[in-house]
């Protein structure tokens, strides 16, 4: 086990199965695409393999706390995909950028609070130096599989 796996164990965190297409859905993209020292992570939601772990619009079906929890689950889904692609999460030198999309009910405008669930987990595992990242939080009318939150990200890899 590497340092990041040790940190996850210390925090009592187990990763889900890597994000997989639900039945009847064909993925025409890679979950993680590595190029020129960067791993570009496709949009992920709160998934365990092909099972959706949280659904609904924020400010309607879900409150901010539950939606931030879905953001944390989304971070775990991303880590599972990164481990599957990279083989070792210690290959991640630092988090560069995250873009969060929040499935919002009309009038909801606290998207950053929802995406904080993602960012807080990254910072908890990697610490402020390697875990700090640029970020956007955008409200949208709908997301795939009725996810409350979707995050795509970029990480820099060790040479």
Domains of the chain, CATH where assigned: 3-157 (3.30.1330.40)
Residue 64 to residue 17: CA distance in whole angstroms? 25
pLDDT of residue 95 exceeding 90, the answer is yes
Burial class (CB in 10 A: 0-12, 13-18, 19+), 17: middle
Mean pLDDT confidence for 123-149? 98
**For residue 28, pLDDT beyond 90:** no
The DSSP bridge partners found for residue 52 are 47
């Amino acid at each position: 086990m590497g340092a990041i796996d040790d940190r996850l164990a210390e925090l009592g965190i187990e990763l889900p199965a890597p994000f997989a297409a639900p039945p009847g859905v064909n993925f025409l993209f890679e979950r993680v695409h590595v190029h020129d020292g960067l791993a570009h992570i496709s949009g992920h939601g709160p998934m365990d393999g092909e099972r959706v772990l949280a659904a609904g619009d924020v400010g309607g079906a879900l409150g901010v706390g539950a939606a931030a929890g879905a953001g944390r689950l989304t971070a775990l889904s991303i880590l599972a995909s990164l481990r599957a692609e990279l083989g070792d999460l210690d290959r991640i030198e630092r988090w560069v950028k995250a873009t969060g999309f929040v499935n919002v009910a009309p009038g909801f405008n606290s998207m950053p609070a929802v995406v904080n669930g993602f960012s807080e987990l990254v910072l908890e595992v990697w610490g402020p130096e390697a875990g700090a990242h640029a970020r956007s939080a955008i409200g949208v009318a709908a997301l795939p599989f009725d996810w409350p939150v979707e995050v795509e990200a970029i990480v820099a890899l060790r040479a």
